[in-house]
Structure 1
């Protein structure tokens, strides 16, 4: 083992060169990379080698056994799960993140102070999204942990309104959560926080087959709570149809009723970058907390999301996540450390890929990405509307297209169609169920996707549907 380590260090330039060569080749050919693996190869699980193989030989083993199952998930025709691509600048930042290997917590003092990069990146994101600096933000692994972090502080807020310190005393009694169409990650977070999904008060959706919250029913539910503090989870872009709650109307309710307002804007928040669609997030700056997922529409590598919580709740945030049992003295921002503001004690410098990409392409670059994806989603929706075999299940509101087979008697064939389509390896979409129909979702969030991809996707769909007739 010692010999391998010594040799690898001596050959680090060569090793990084061959990794770079392989990575560049992958990125250059990503448009032709299969989006799905039809047949998973059979392999025997390897035993731990006694003295190891060294890095170069291990790369050969990886390329033989596992590289073939790596799909083009960051490519232009991978439209499933709202999976973003990776800009060249974000790849550079991610590579350096691993090389520098910081445990990002502090901004001053001895040792690692890389949190300064993270705070600056949060500032850049707030500027990009048109949000005020009154939000304190940080990076976590994804929307699930962002929702968890925001709702954890919301839980502490409700406790204080009830005269309790839940972080110390634990949960006693019920905490009501009002929502209409929450993402599954919010429900998971409620479970992890001990709030319980059964405590959700389901609010009706707006008329017209919408997924947005019905403001009239929301206020009716608030009145029923008779002044009891509660948590509202609202949507800044639902998963199926990218529907938005009316934030300006919720702001009016917040002036009358006592609640914590959380917005899950994992990918829909980037509508703020588009002049034609920024109205969808009008008023979101009045929320107490917001979730934004960077590895979606910001197009940086996976495990990158931010939580945004109003700085006025910094004490509640520290009470929830502080790294010791001692009471926090003074202003926690004077000697800031992420250690006391979020769940993880150990964390990568997740902000660096986002910082690189934001600095490399700026406001105009991201505006172009967002507008391009919106345009492509609309083009795809128009092709479906004119088709004899497919139909939209909802209007194309932003960047996700929700559709199904046109023949209502063939609902049981939607799954088979999608499976056959994905098996082509030319495109990948995900199944859904909306308004009583089995459906398919295509999410446009990749900076590389172009009009030629739309044509290829639609041609492939027509070939598959003809094949199944």
Structure 2
């Protein structure tokens, strides 16, 4: 055995103890950790011949890279839509690494850790009050969830036209309709060979909305003259968290033949709260749904789930079957996730979610969702009351989309605010306006954080 490997094995307890204490120091001081950094690092290009061993490698990491680790899992990281890992999720993630399972199968004498994944999917369906006729699994993020769902939709389109796209390749026109698709869904269309530009843009509802105009949708459907198509709809648009009218779309689905996919990456968590679950009423009739767990579920990256109706399992298997490995057996008789999603090898992604769901239950996630919305409304109230700002859209759930009264100052203002390291937000463009987004999904965020950020904003305004 290599000397460094042998020494590390003998010192594994000390190594893990060092990492534990460093991790605890990060978590216990996360409120003081900057949310952004200007630090530059020197990248090493050559690998040493002998290596250092883990303890010395940790020292080198701390010397070179530790300072660039920002508080993206902290209470004032409001950029993108980034949650923070709950204590239970951290425990599950550590154990995922330690057990190091290749989660695929549920039967046999080898690795059957997929049983945990199947149970976690059932728990998530219960959390979202979705019917049990959805089949689900874990992938790396919303992009791969959208990709997985739309890949099955692509196979369904082929079936409607007597073709097997998975085997023969895509041929003919695949009609895709959407009003405000997220970039990850558009990227998925590119990866699937359908073309990122090849979707029909639907009108949005009048009155500062981002949702599908269902009248325009039906008009577009009629022009297809009975041709099958894919509809990509939104449970929470990225800028203003707007929700398509799922009940209206459900009624259209009774009249017309189409695959209905919902991108509910974070907005789907509205289902966790009696105050906001009306926003997803009717979504249970969709063919597929994307949910990104490393957002509002507050588990570590990389974690998202897809939900696809069980009635489409044969299409899903045709899309992802690992067909040239005879030792895997008949995929319909010997279930393995590798025949139902993109990856052949993957870690036990479900375990952090399982730990967090079991630990905090429905009421825990109701509290997280409702607190996040409360924080968003509190921040939005400050924006509305301050003449230096203006809201670009009403706060519909957990994101505040706003700009400066002088829109041309928005970029400079954001750069200065983020440079404080006290908060992090992201820029956006909304209906032609240069804007800023503050997204609230972190379980740690409190009113004290809102007050601290307001204080920093007022300082920046003075010097703007």
Provide the residue aligned with 2:387 in structure 1. 388
Give distance in 2, aligned partners of 1:331 and 1:59: 46
Which residue of structure 1 aligns with residue 459 of structure 2?
463
**Would you say the 8 A contact 1:84–1:296 is kept in 2?**
yes
In the TM superposition, what whole-angstrom CA distance separates every residue of 1:375-400 from its partner, at most 9, and x where no partner exists? Answer: 11011111111112111100000000
CA deviations on 1:152-183 (whole Å, 9 max, x unpaired) are 00000000001101001101111010000000
Q: Which residue in the other structure is 1:447 paired with?
A: 443
The separation in 1 between residues aligned to 2:67 and 2:98, in whole angstroms, is 26
> Which residue does 1:237 correspond to in 2?
236
* Paired residue secondary structure (1:71): coil
Correspondent of 2:423 among 427, 446, 452:
427
| Counterpart position of 1:123 | 122
Alpha-carbon distance in 2 for matches of 1:42, 1:262: 43
Name 1:337's counterpart in structure 2.
Answer: 336
**Conserved in 2, the CA contact under 8 Å of 1:80 and 1:430?**
yes
- Deviation at 1:47? 1.9
C-alpha contact 1:35 1:427 (8 A) present in aligned 2: yes
Structure 1 residue aligned with 2:10: 10
Q: 1:16 to 1:325 in 2, by over 3 A?
A: closer
CA contact (8 A) 1:174 1:199 kept: no
TM-score by length of 1: 0.97
Spell out the pairing of 1:11-50 with structure 2 (5 A cutoff): 11-38=11-38, 40-50=39-49
Q: Distance in 2 between matches of 1:58 and 1:47?
A: 15
> Do 1:83 and 1:446's aligned partners in 2 also have CA atoms closer than 8 Å?
yes
Residue 177 of structure 1: aligned partner: 176
The answer to whether structure 1 residue 277 and structure 2 residue 311 are counterparts is: no
- Superposed displacement of residue 403, structure 1: 0.3
1:211-248 alpha-carbon deviations (Å, 9 max, x no partner): 00000000000000010000000000000000000000
1:56-81 per-residue CA deviation (whole Å, 9 max, x = no partner) reads 00000000000010000000000001
For each residue in 1:258-312, what CA deviation from the matched residue of structure 2 results, as whole angstroms up to 9, or x when unmatched? 1000000000000001111100000000000000000000000011000000000
Contact map agreement 1:301 1:353 (CA 8 A) in 2: yes
Q: Helix, strand or coil for the counterpart of 2:414? A: helix
Q: Could you tell me which residue of structure 2 aligns to residue 157 of structure 1?
A: 156
Q: Distance in 2 between matches of 1:198 and 1:353?
A: 36
Residue 266 of structure 1 pairs with residue 265 of structure 2: yes
- What displacement does 1:41 show? 2.2
Question: Do 2:398 and 2:439's aligned partners in 1 also have CA atoms closer than 8 Å?
Answer: yes
Q: How many equivalent pairs are there?
A: 463
CA RMSD, Structure 1 to Structure 2 (Å): 1.4
Structure 2 CA distance for partners of 1:260 and 1:57, relative to 1, 3 Å: same
Matched, 1:318 2:317: yes
1:191 is paired with a residue whose SS is: helix
Q: Distance in 1 between matches of 2:52 and 2:335?
A: 43
The reply to whether residue 411 of structure 1 matches residue 413 of structure 2 is: no
CA deviation digits over 1:102-132, x for unaligned, max 9? 0000000121000000000000000000001
Q: SS of the residue aligned with 2:295?
A: helix
Tell me, yes or no, if the aligned pair for 1:314 and 1:332 is still in contact at 8 Å: no
**CA distance in 2: counterparts of 1:148 and 1:42, whole angstroms:** 35
Task: For residue 137 of structure 1, give the secondary structure of its aligned residue in structure 2.
Answer: strand
Q: Which SS does the other structure have where 2:197 is aligned?
A: helix
The SS at the match of 1:199 is coil
Q: Which residue of structure 2 lines up, in the alignment, with residue 302 of structure 1?
A: 301
Task: Return 5+ residue gaps in structure 2 as ranges.
Answer: none
Matched with 2:107 is 108
Distance 1:396 1:198 in 2: 30
Contact 2:41 2:65 in 1 (8 A): no
Alpha-carbon contact 2:35-2:422 (below 8 Å) kept: yes
1:309-335 CA-partner distances (Å, limit 9, x unpaired): 0000000000000001599x9995542
| Distance in structure 2 (CA, Å) of the matches to 1:430 and 1:198 | 25
**Partner-residue secondary structure (3-state), 2:452:** helix
User: Deviation at 1:458?
Assistant: 1.2
Shift of 1:184: 0.2
Matched residue SS, 1:21: helix
Q: Distance in 2 between matches of 1:435 and 1:192?
A: 27
